[in-house]
């Protein structure tokens, strides 16, 4: 029931997107077709996806002679669900709600997942009644620390810096690797970033990579090595 919604608290230094208190996350097939909230746009994207998948299936069939088309069909079936009339109907129903609501909100999509951020409880209750939105979860931003800070139980450093998602050259990556290899005793490198530095063949950094360090002098050195690579820096405070 809408009046029995339970929100999972999320400790933060600011509201979602510095504006919204609540978030409703959900699964909906092809929801990324709603990156632009427009019925004609949704239809165009869905038609394009159907055509692309038909072409892809034909190509698999052509290059897999001697009984292999069945294997190709199996692979395609595992990767993509059929885009049915119901799929399109669900997208348009959600789009119509969002297009006609007077509530302020932000919609974010990725493949078959969506997040709607808002301060409006009436909108959240209407979303809750939409049975075609699967795996709905409700979260609430709880402001538990000052802005631009992060809490750790036993802080060993004063600051945490996050990286931007940037594609580097191999030379630039090698320079970063050498730099951090020489600073192992004076900074903490996040596990995911460590893996990227030590064993990943990829050249793109990710925005969840971070390092913990003392003071802000490190940022000057990183700017010299790779200008603009730092996304944000937070002060670490004790929990």
Handedness of CA 41, 44, 47, 49 (dihedral sign): negative
Question: At 224, is the secondary structure helix, strand, or coil?
Answer: helix
Same domain, 102 and 215: no
Measured CA to CA, the distance from residue 106 to residue 104 in angstroms comes to 7
Same domain, 61 and 159: no
Secondary structure string (H, E, C) spanning 71-101 = HHHHHHHHHCCCCCHHHHHHHHHHHHHHHHC
Same domain, 94 and 36: yes
State in Å, rounded, how far the first CA of the chain is from the last one. 36
Domain that holds residue 207: 149-238
- pLDDT tens digits for 79-100? 667 899 999 999 999 999 999 9
Same domain, 126 and 171: no
Final residue of a structural domain among 123, 144, 165: 144
Same domain, 71 and 96: yes
Same domain, 135 and 222: no
Q: Provide the 10 A C-beta neighbour count for residue 145.
A: 17
CB 37, CB 98: distance < 8 Å: yes
- Polymer length in residues for the chain: 239
Q: What is the pLDDT of residue 60?
A: 58
Same domain, 19 and 83: yes
Q: What is the pLDDT of residue 217?
A: 87
Same domain, 32 and 90: yes
Q: What is the dihedral of CA 201, 207, 210, 215, to 10 degrees?
A: 130
Final residue of a structural domain among 144, 169, 190: 144
CB 147, CB 189: distance < 8 Å: no
Same domain, 126 and 155: no
Q: What is the pLDDT of residue 66?
A: 53
> 85-100 and 39-63 are packed helices; what angle lies between their axes, rounded to 10 degrees?
150
CB 109, CB 31: distance < 8 Å: yes
Measured CA to CA, the distance from residue 117 to residue 15 in angstroms comes to 10
Q: Domain tally for the chain?
A: 2
Q: What is the DSSP string of 13-70?
A: SS-BTTTBSEEEEEE-TTGGGGSS--HHHHHHHHHHHHHHHHHHHHHHHHH--TTTHH
Q: What is the pLDDT of residue 1?
A: 39
CB 107, CB 24: distance < 8 Å: no
Same domain, 163 and 227: yes
Q: What is the pLDDT of residue 59?
A: 66
Final residue of a structural domain among 96, 128, 144: 144
Name the pLDDT band for 78 (thresholds 50, 70, 90): very low
Same domain, 140 and 159: no
Same domain, 35 and 131: yes
- pLDDT tens digits for 13-70? 999 999 999 999 999 999 999 999 999 999 999 999 999 888 877 665 544 555 555 5
Measured CA to CA, the distance from residue 158 to residue 233 in angstroms comes to 10
Measured CA to CA, the distance from residue 195 to residue 200 in angstroms comes to 6
């Amino acid at each position: 029931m809408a009046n029995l919604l339970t929100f999972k608290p999320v400790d933060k230094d600011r509201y979602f997107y510095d504006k919204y208190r609540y978030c409703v996350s959900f699964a909906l097939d092809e929801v990324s077709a709603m990156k632009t909230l427009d019925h004609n746009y949704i239809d165009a994207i869905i038609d394009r996806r159907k055509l692309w998948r038909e072409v892809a299936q034909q190509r698999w069939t052509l290059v897999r002679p001697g009984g292999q088309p069945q294997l190709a069909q199996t692979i395609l079936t595992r990767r993509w669900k059929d885009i049915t009339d119901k799929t399109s109907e669900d997208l348009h129903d959600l789009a119509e709600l969002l297009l006609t609501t007077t509530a302020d909100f932000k919609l974010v999509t990725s493949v078959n997942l969506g997040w709607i951020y808002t301060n409006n409880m009436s909108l959240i209750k209407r979303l809750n009644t939409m049975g075609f939105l699967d795996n709905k979860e409700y979260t609430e931003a709880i402001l538990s620390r000052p802005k631009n800070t992060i809490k750790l139980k036993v802080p060993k450093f004063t600051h945490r810096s996050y990286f931007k998602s940037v594609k580097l050259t191999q030379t630039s990556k090698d320079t970063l690797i050498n730099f951090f290899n020489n600073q192992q005793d004076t900074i903490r490198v996040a596990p995911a970033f460590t893996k990227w530095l030590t064993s990943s063949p990829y050249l793109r950094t990710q925005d969840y990579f971070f390092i913990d360090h003392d003071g802000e002098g490190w940022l000057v050195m990183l700017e010299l090595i790779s200008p603009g690579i730092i996304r944000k820096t937070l002060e670490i405070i004790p929990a």
